[in-house]
Chains A and B, each alone.
Chain A
Amino acid sequence: MLLRDMTAFALITLGVMLTKFGVSRKVVHPLMFAQIRQAGVRLLPMAIFLGVTFGLVIIGQTVALLSRVGAEQLIGTVMVTVVMRELGPLLTAIVVLARAGTSNVVELGTMRAMGEVSALESLGIDPIHYLVMPRMLGLAVCVFCLATYFVLVAILSGWVFAFLQDVPIRPAAYFGRLGDALHWQDFLLFGLKTWLFGVVIAVVSCYHGLARPLRFEEISAVTERAVVEGVIGCVLLDALFLVGYVFV
């Protein structure tokens, strides 16, 4: 039931995007950039911090361990699999969900409870066009960009950790193995996955904030539900991509 409603909500939003992308662009497009600022630019330090930590703790240790057992040739494969395919996009999506997704549910839920959404409708302004479309596009761009920064920073800091640990691997060899392990499909699926994570976060948060009449006292419970469903949605999507990787 919930999945059906959310799918319908996502399809309606997609329809609005296709038919109204260029409508009232002077009003709607700045809202998209505002979403990118709020969920992307402001989250960049957090993504970089997580990337550095992840690189030092996970990648650095993995590189050191693989070098110690003489399995340096696996460094590239391990990093592409762990950082680029799995944990990079998923961790970024969870951070964006926690920060921007929750704030979207609270903001839209408050708007709904305050009668602002009905007021928009009364002015002939489609709430999906004015409120959901900018968030969906903005979040898709944000998750993609933040995940890219996260992966780059994690890879760099991983090498720094390995260097500090006196692991006998030169930068050229480190990045060369990484390059050897990367295929064009990895870039394609990375882009697709991060964009879709952004879409899942937007759909879940906007659906819970907007799709039904809300009272103020319901907003906190709805936000909790949105976070749980957002995490489940992203993990399920990740699992679907795993199937995709197997076939690609």
Chain B
Amino acid sequence: MSEAAQVELVSVDVASEDDPGRLLVREVTWSIHPGEWWAIGGGPASGKTALLATAAGLNPSARGVVRIFGRDLQRASESEQTAWRREVGFVFENGGGLLGRLTVAENVALPLRYHSDRDPAEVHTRVDALLQLAGLEGLADLVPSQLTLALRQRVALLRSLALPVRILFLDSPLRGLAPSGIRWWLGFLRELRARRAADGEALSLITSAYDFRSLRDDAERFAVLENGRFRLLAQADEVAGYREDAASPAQTADGL
């Protein structure tokens, strides 16, 4: 890759978000370049969410250096970090962290309204366009508790896309979905990426997954979390042969 890395992790130890004293993954060295589609595999409690959150600058690393757009996260000012946040999207697992008191439309509008002084009509138009993009316009006035977890995560994806993101972290978006749901996600992400590429704005996608079966045709780079270590998969047969139960929860870094 000739372009500079958007995100770089150098010898990073990834800690649990709930318990910063508990290390989940050790010695991660990883670079994400513009336009790459990464798939990160790992079993339950292997540290996928914590790794993604660390790479996205949401979870402080226990050790090592995290650089986002070339700047060391620990040395970045608050305003720099706020500026990054608009360009680094994160879609959480288990419903995407939608605000329960806001409707679907209000959730999608929130980052637009918070970060810009657009007039309400303009925000409304943009939110409608986003909801239509995902076929969710009929759900605009519902609150998250009226939606399934899968639909909530789709709304969370739209909320991230309300900002001009250049990197999008997706935490297990395909988990527990029916084949039609998986097809929707992959089709949507493929189209989104193609549209951004056509506009000259490369969008990087980082998707965590329990296995690579669904992502094998779309993702370009693969890595797995095994035994508390981050391992890049270079060969196609390694990717094809990866099984989600390769690492048990007990085999995290703490258990080594």
Contact = CB atoms under 8 A, between A and B. Distances in A.
Interface of A: 24, 26-27, 110-111, 114-116, 118-126, 130, 213
B129 to A, nearest CB: 19
A119 B98 contact: yes
Contacts of B113: 24, 26-27
B85 A124 contact: yes
B122 interface: no
B131 to A, nearest CB: 17
B86 interface: yes
Question: Interface centre among B18, B56, B97, B111, by most A CB within 10 Å?
Answer: B97
A54 B163 CA distance: 54
Interface string B33-59: 000000000000000000001001010
A123 B159 contact: yes
Contacts of A119: 90, 92, 96-99, 156
Interface string B101-119: 0000000001101110100
B187 interface: no
Interface of B: 17-19, 53, 56, 58, 82-86, 88-90, 92, 94-100, 110-111, 113-115, 117, 156, 159-160, 163
Contacts of A130: 114
B130 to A, nearest CB: 14
B111 A125 contact: yes
Contact of A123 (B18, B94, B100, B110): B110
Contacts of A121: 58, 85
Contacts of A116: 97-100
A110 B95 CA distance: 14
The 6 closest A-B pairs by CB, nearest first: A119-B97, A124-B85, A122-B90, A115-B97, A213-B18, A123-B111
B82 A124 contact: yes
Contacts of A124: 82-86, 111, 114-115, 163
A118 B58 contact: yes
A34 to B, nearest CB: 10
20 contacts: A26-B117, A110-B100, A111-B100, A114-B100, A116-B100, A118-B97, A119-B92, A119-B97, A120-B97, A121-B58, A122-B89, A122-B90, A122-B92, A122-B160, A123-B159, A123-B160, A123-B163, A124-B163, A125-B114, A213-B17
A26 B53 CA distance: 29
A122 B86 CA distance: 8
A213 B18 CA distance: 6
Contacts of A26: 113, 117
Question: Interface centre among A110, A121, A122, A213, by most B CB within 10 Å?
Answer: A122
B115 A118 contact: no
A123 B58 contact: no
Contacts of A126: 82
Contacts of A123: 85, 110-111, 114, 159-160, 163
B110 A114 contact: no
Given A122-B58, A123-B159, A124-B86, A24 B115 contact: yes
A130 B115 CA distance: 12
A119 B159 CA distance: 10
A114 B107 CA distance: 15
A24 B90 contact: no
A27 B110 CA distance: 8
A119 B88 CA distance: 12
Given A122-B160, A123-B160, 19 more contacts: A24-B113, A27-B113, A115-B92, A116-B99, A118-B92, A118-B97, A119-B92, A119-B156, A121-B58, A121-B85, A122-B56, A122-B85, A122-B90, A122-B92, A123-B110, A123-B111, A123-B114, A123-B163, A124-B163
A106 to B, nearest CB: 12
